[in-house]
Amino acid sequence: MAKDKKVLVVGGGGRCHAIVDALSRSPQVAKIFCAPGNAGIAAQAECVPVKDTDVQGLLKFAQEQGIDLTVVGPEAALSVGVVDAFRAAGLKIFGHTQAATRIESSKEFAKILMDKYAIPTAGYRSFDNFDEALAYVNARPFPAVLKYDGLAAGKGVVIAADAAEAEAALRSMLLDEAFGKGRVVVEDFLTGPEFSFMAFVDGERVYPMPLSQDHKRAFDGDKGPNTGGMGAYTGLPFITKEDESFALEQILKATAKAMVSEGCPLSGVLYGGLMKTPDGIKVIEFNARFGDPETEVVLPLLESDIYDIFEAVATGRPVAEPKWRKAVTLGVVLASKGYPGSYEKGAEILGADQVDGRVYHMGTKRDGDRLLTAGGRVMMVVAEGKDTRAAWEKVYAEVAKIRCDNLFFRRDIAHWALDGKVLDGKALSNSIKDSLREQVSKLEVKYGRKPSLAVIIVGNNPASQVYVRNKVKSAIYVGMNSRLITMAEDATEEALLKMIDDLNRDPEVDGILVQLPLPKQINEERVIDAIAKEKDVDGFHPGNVSDLWLGRPCTVPCTPKGILRLIDESGIDLAGKTAVVVGRSNIVGKPVAKLLLDRNATVIIAHSRTKDLKAMTLQADVLVVAVGRPNMVTGDMIKPGAVVIDVGINRDADGKLCGDVDYVGARLRASAITPVPGGVGPMTIAMLMENTVESFLARVEPR
Ligand code: NDP
């Protein structure tokens, strides 16, 4: 095969860089031009200063240079009719005609097509009148999906949570004409994971590409504003073979056929933005071109000659089914700080040439030898691995080589595939409380009285007041008798000890809890010692503590007991496993370590002064962190597959509750992890209820 073909690629972002990169691997391609290209593309193609929507300029260039095939990247070029113009001039071009591009450029065209040909999608109605649109939206459940019917550079979709948001969006689209004069499509809100399914389409011939998923939100944990895409990966964990073949047959092929029937056959890339809803796979949107950033992770897997595929589609000739490497790719976008809002350009980027993998440029510029940022999304680093974990480790090792003061990136690309299970302490504690509630009602019938808990709070520490209220609320829910005793901030130790003594003697009281910390004039140790051992439902009494360590029957302290239940919930068998406890307080760290030892785990107790804590935590099959310091444990300190229990309760810089563990980073490596809040906290209260019932039983049914 002669290597003599000249190709012109229209476009200039990361997607076009990936197309140029794929073309550069073709055995037929001798020369690639890119209009307008970018600083990265310039290494593989000759960039020509013609705008991607300058149809006449592109045509003139292709004719003068004797271009064999033109490939169109962006939708803007397609929708101004570049393909129609090239074809009229007898030139070969890969991309849809203006009429076929309506599948992307007109939301209403796509909706009518899907309706007519029974292609699964969300129900919808379209409006050009503001009042009618508003009335329709307000008469339906929120959230409402509002789509501007036209090209809006990815910004024309609003998910309105309530009437006010919907009104503002409709006002901007229909009255202020923020994107120009147009209509708005109002769609049903669907739920489920979204994914991208692209195919090369030539009339009814559909050649599918590997599935991929992008990450739209700016920040880790899918937080922050929507962007053009902060990363993508292939090898989706949530799509089965059956899902994939359904989507291929009932969506992509059905759409290709429908377009032929409508007299506007496709001849380029059909991009299905799909969602796996509880009612099956549905279309969210169609695009008439390669997706960005999906293309950057999909095309590197192509083993076949892409020139051959492009040329076949452009000329309407059948081609062999393209071959794709059975590996996983993962790409991370580096964006300018501030993006998708305002950001600065011109920051120097160092180290991009040291990356072992693909670096696709999105918004960069050369200044002599220096590489500078020149856009919101600046570049995308793509790595390949045998599985998602391998690709993830590799890509972030490569991203770390790039140094620039003004770039940020997400650390959790592919988290859908990697995230550990969330150990939902709230749900577990609710089910424990439900079964205790049942038990308590039976106990009342059997013994003529209910278990009873006395909670004492001294002073007005706000956190203590919240804890105490929650404890009493739970006791009421479970059906126990509860007594809340409030003592003033300046109460004396003597008065408190007297109160405890009375409760110790009261035959109707089964459990006594004194909320800690206590005001300074009161000695906590003396108070804990004063509570009768058999009524000490917190498990802090020295009698209970020593019995725990001696392996005798005792009241197990609530938080450690709850932690063990959460570990069990993860399904791990502790015998023979390595457990690391970070924290050594008497009420969490030490008793947890003892309970883990009792379950035949090998236990390492570490604390904030442990030298090289990471070397310890990396050994942990089970990691319990109870120090009270945010980010004490970061994602890189977690052994892949570990069960992570975060006990800490802290406030972050924004005043939001957080634990001791970097949740997003750790969840990517852990097989299971507790959230904060909603993990250990609720379990502590459920165990307090359980301890009170046990204390009641020990009193009414003495051993
Ligand atoms: P403490 O403040 O009692 O202990 C934290 C650290 O203090 C220890 O790791 C150790 O730090 C030092 N320390 C405390 N006691 C001793 C001791 N006897 N000997 C030596 N060092 C000691 O915290 P907790 O264990 O009560 O709680 C840790 C975190 O967990 C906090 O954020 C707390 O709010 C939270 N928590 C959450 C609960 C829940 O229900 N979710 C329940 C209980 C606590 P160092 O190694 O630095 O010396």
Taking the centre of ligand 1 as the mean of its atom positions, its distance from the CA of residue 560, in whole angstroms, is 12
In a domain, 560, yes or no: no
Q: Examine the domain organization and report whether 268 and 298 are in the same domain.
A: yes
Domain annotation covers residue 562: no
617 and 527 in one domain? no
Q: Which atom number of ligand 1 is nearest to the Cα of residue 589?
A: 25
Q: Of ligand 1's atoms, which has the minimum distance to the CA of residue 585? A: 15
Task: Return mean pLDDT, the chain.
Answer: 95
Q: Based on the number of CB atoms within 10 Å of its own CB, is 431 exposed (0-12), middle (13-18) or buried (19 or more)?
A: exposed
Residue 573 has a CB neighbour count (10 Å cut-off) of: 11
CATH number reported for the structural domain that contains residue 41 in this entry: 3.40.50.20
- Give the residue whose CA is nearest to atom 6 of ligand 1: 627
pLDDT exceeds 80 at position 180:
no
Last residue of a domain, one of 94, 122, 154: 94
Q: What is the CATH number of the domain that holds 619?
A: 3.40.50.720
Nearest CA to ligand 1 atom 1: 585
Smallest Cα–Cα separation from 382: which of 395, 396, 401? 395
Pairing, β 328-336 against β 370-373:
unpaired
373/507 same-domain check: no
Q: Count the domains in the chain.
A: 4
**What is the Å distance from ligand 1's center to 668 Cα?**
26
Dump pLDDT digits (tens) for 421-449.
999 999 999 999 999 999 999 999 999 99
Task: Give yes or no for residue 558 CB within 6 A of ligand 1.
Answer: no
**236: domain CATH number?**
3.30.470.20
Do 529 and 600 lie in one domain? The reply is: no
Q: Is residue 79 part of a domain?
A: yes
Q: How far is the CA of 642 from the centre of ligand 1 (A)?
A: 22
Same domain, yes or no, for 110 and 81?
A: no
CB of residue 304 inside a 6 A radius of ligand 1: no
Region label for 518, one of left (φ > 0), alpha (ψ between -120 and 50) or beta (otherwise): beta
Calculate how far, in angstroms, residue 367's C-alpha sits from the geometric centre of ligand 1: 54
Do 249 and 221 meet the contact criterion of CB atoms below 8 Å apart?
A: no
* Per-residue model confidence (pLDDT) at position 154: 56
Ligand 1 close to Cβ of residue 517 (< 6 A): no
- Domain presence at residue 677: no
**Is residue 589 in contact with ligand 1, taking CB distance under 6 Å?**
yes
Lowest mean pLDDT among 162-176, 476-490, 622-636: 162-176
Q: H helices of 582-679, where?
A: 589-598, 613-617, 663-667
Q: Tell me if 121 is assigned to some domain.
A: yes
Residues 295 and 405 in one domain: yes
Mean pLDDT value across residues 629-650: 96
The verdict on residue 557 lying in a domain is no
Same domain, yes or no, for 452 and 307?
Answer: no
The pLDDT of residue 148 is: 86
Residues 603, 528 within the same domain? no
In Å, how far are 454, 491, 584 from 526, measured between CA atoms? 18, 15, 21
Domain contains 565:
no
The domain boundary, picked from 94, 129, 146, lies at: 94
Ligand 1 atom closest to Cα of 588? Answer: 25
Count, in order, helices (H) and strands (E) of the chain. Answer: 24, 35
Q: Quick one: average pLDDT of 274-293?
A: 96
Instruction: Check pLDDT > 60 for residue 153.
Output: no
Residue 183 pLDDT grade (very low, low, confident, very high; cuts 50, 70, 90): confident
Q: Is residue 162 located within the same domain as residue 281?
A: yes
Taking 70 as the threshold, does the pLDDT of residue 293 lie above it? yes
Nearest CA to ligand 1 atom 18: 585
Q: Which atom of ligand 1 is nearest to the CA of 676?
A: 41
Q: Whose CA is nearest to atom 14 of ligand 1?
A: 585
pLDDT band at 199 (very low <50, low <70, confident <90, very high): very high
For residues 682 and 467, give the distance between their C-alpha atoms in angstroms, rounded to a whole number: 10
- Regarding the beta carbon of 291 and ligand 1, being less than 6 Å apart is answered no
Q: Which atom of ligand 1 is nearest to the CA of 680?
A: 41
Same domain for 171 and 82: no
pLDDT band at 60 (very low <50, low <70, confident <90, very high): very high
Type and span of the H or E element at 433: helix 425-447
Residue 240 Cβ contacting ligand 1 at under 6 Å? no
CATH code of residue 506:
3.40.50.10860
Pair (84, 117) in one structural domain: no
To test ligand 1's pocket by mutation, which of 647, 683, 691 has the most ligand atoms within 8 angstroms of CB?
647
Is residue 566 one of the residues assigned to a domain? no
Final residue of a domain: which of 382, 411, 440? 411
Axis-axis angle for helices 306-315, 14-24 (nearest 10): 100
Residue 451 Cβ < 6 Å to ligand 1: no
Clarify whether residues 78 and 220 are in a common domain. no
With a 6 Å cutoff on the Cβ, whether 649 touches ligand 1 is yes
Which residue range(s) make up the domain with 664? Answer: 573-670
pLDDT at 177: 80
CA 645–ligand 1 middle distance (angstroms): 14
DSSP 403: B
C-alpha of residue 632 to centroid of ligand 1, in Å: 13
